Chain A
């Protein structure tokens, strides 16, 4: 195979995967939470110990927490 073929194939593979990821990511975000699960909340004992900023609950929890501190 010529050199450019490798480059084209690798870029194609990564692009396909990236597009799949982005589409699934956006779809996941857009799908509404099923009925009866709206009240699923992070465990308050758990969240302070965990500082993963990519967690879905991170912002929500830490926003509430900082509000509590301000009081």
Chain B
């Protein structure tokens, strides 16, 4: 395969993971922050950026651990326990670094970093990467995290408007947000089959 082919395949894979196999709306990872942290645009941007950062870093670290340590040692079944420990320590180390050296970043991301340890999206992506080669797993990490960022920001903009809308009392808040998410999922469904 020539270099341009590799690049096109990578970009196509990123778009496919970002939109068609969207992390929240078709694969259902990370619904908790998607519903919980999307009431304000500002907080959703903070959460989304933090998720992009951690997912890319975790995928980069976990790939060599699985393929060069666990598989040669015949310990592939330990993947989940190793991944959660790696992700949790990564989150703490990143938090430590930000706390020490970048107060401005801490201001915008600090609250969301501890929440990411228990975000399904990170562990889900890393776990999916077991079956992929290095290029595709990076594409998966990048596409998935960007997809999460795009969807949570779009969703929070809609929810800010929805607050002003006069919905029936029992539909206010979460139920109407879920229906909104359903409509967004239908829109995503329309893209199925665009990239083979």
Using CB atoms and an 8 Å cutoff, list the residues of chain A in contact with chain B: 1, 6, 9-10, 13-14, 17-18, 20-21, 24-25, 27-28, 31-37, 40, 42-43, 45-46, 49-50, 52, 54-57
Contacts and interface: CB of A to CB of B under 8 A. Distances in A.
Interface footprint category on B: 35 or more
Interface in B70-120: 70, 73-75, 78, 81-82, 85-86, 88-89, 92-93, 95-96, 99-100, 102-103, 106-107, 110-111, 114-115, 117-118
Contacts of A35: 103
Q: Which 9 A-B pairs have the closest CB atoms?
A: A34-B103, A24-B92, A17-B85, A21-B89, A50-B36, A28-B92, A20-B89, A28-B96, A31-B99
Given A52-B118, A54-B114, A25 B92 contact: yes
A14 B111 CA distance: 28
Interface of B: 32, 36-37, 39-40, 43, 69-70, 73-75, 78, 81-82, 85-86, 88-89, 92-93, 95-96, 99-100, 102-103, 106-107, 110-111, 114-115, 117-118, 173-174
